[in-house]
Amino acid sequence: MDLAPGAASSSLSDSDLALVDAVQDDPRAPWARLGAQLGISAPTARRRWERLRGSDSAWITTHAGWRSGVVTALIAVQCRPGTSDAIARTLVGHPRVMTIAHTTGDHDLLLTVMVPDILELRRLMQSGLTSHDGVVRMRSMLVTRMFRDGSHWRSGSLGSTTCSATSTDGPLRFPTPALRAAIGVLERDGRAPSSALAATLGVSEPHARRFVRRAIRSGHIVQRVDVRLDQPHWPHSLVLWMVVPAARLHETADRISQLPLARACASLAGGGANLYTVVWLRSLAEAPDVEARIVRGLDVRVTERSILLHYGKRMGHVFDDRHRRTGHVPWASP
């Protein structure tokens, strides 16, 4: 785990959010293009981004995409009273446990797990999770399709609050060694130079650029900009588990995914719900209204709702109790 604690003001200005949106549109875009989009010079754009990154106010997260063939699962964990923090600490260093969220409701922890295959998922659930005597019950669900993730979200500072989801047509397959190697470089530095990618992949720089560009466009690799957890713009997250008629599942998920503050939306299999969404909130008081907007006009039944209290880990990045980013656990092998 690479430790790099930071301390800075949690406030993101309008210009900061505009820069975040520009980088979110294309995390590996040249600074000249990003600067032109913002009406500033390339050096200024780069300097402002390095300031945000250096203060841990914003950073690029890279991970294997749903289309790459990895198995993604959500695991809700019920813990014995007083043990959830200890259980979370034992899981933080596990590279396959991408996200650890403390939640309200019937379960104390919500995990996002990404593994190469079902066999490793079974092993993780049987040994990595149940080995802790504080675990009372687990509920696991497989993600069958990711309609919206963190790469689709926009603050709206550039005039748009959403973007089209990456196409997911075509066969799924397990990540190739080259894809895994590229993810290994980019999850440490989302803007890693082509020379570093070429050296790792053993190819020319132009070939490395084309390979990564195709992988990102096809959804095999996902890149997104994350912002610090203690920012005041969207301090809370509402999680909804829903049941939708199978014939209308994709249509419903597409509509929910277009909501400006929808952070994630995925179809599920193997549990009581077949649709899951996470929505950012500006205040807890707006949770009922946001839920009402989500289900209005849709054939949807909400089976469970919860609020995310704290992230111990989010897509590989580790946080302390004060919401400060303190490290990163790589998913791919070096």
- DSSP calls for 278-301: EEEES-GGGHHHHHHHHHTTS--E
Residues 278/264, Cβ–Cβ less than 8 Å: yes
- Say yes or no to pLDDT of 138 above 90: yes
Distance between CA atoms of residues 27 and 41, nearest Å: 17
- Taking the domains of the chain in order of start, what are their residue ranges? 1-231+310-334
- 108, 275, 279 from 288: Cα distances, Å: 21, 18, 12
- Say yes or no to pLDDT of 173 above 60: no
> Each residue of 187-238: pLDDT tens digit?
999 999 999 999 999 999 999 999 999 999 999 999 999 998 888 888 999 9
Nearest residue to 46 via CA among 30, 61, 57, 60: 30
Of all residues in the chain, what percent carry a pLDDT higher than 90?
Answer: 80
Mean pLDDT rounded to a whole number for the chain: 90
Task: Give the helix/strand (H/E) hosting 75.
Answer: strand 71-79
What class, spelled out in words, does domain 1-231+310-334 have in CATH? alpha beta
| CA dihedral of 62, 64, 66, 67, whole degrees rounded to 10 | 120
pLDDT of amino acid 8: 45
Could you tell me which residue, 176 or 92, shows the higher pLDDT?
A: 92
- Say yes or no to pLDDT of 162 above 70: no
- Say yes or no to pLDDT of 172 above 60: no
pLDDT of amino acid 193: 96
The pLDDT confidence band at residue 127, using thresholds 50, 70 and 90, is: confident
pTM: 0.90
> Each residue of 291-324: pLDDT tens digit?
999 999 999 999 999 999 999 999 999 999 999 9
pLDDT of amino acid 154: 81
Distance between CA atoms of residues 312 and 318, nearest Å: 6
pLDDT of amino acid 164: 47
Of all residues in the chain, what percent carry a pLDDT higher than 70?
Answer: 91
- Answer positive or negative: Cα dihedral of 267, 259, 323, 240: negative
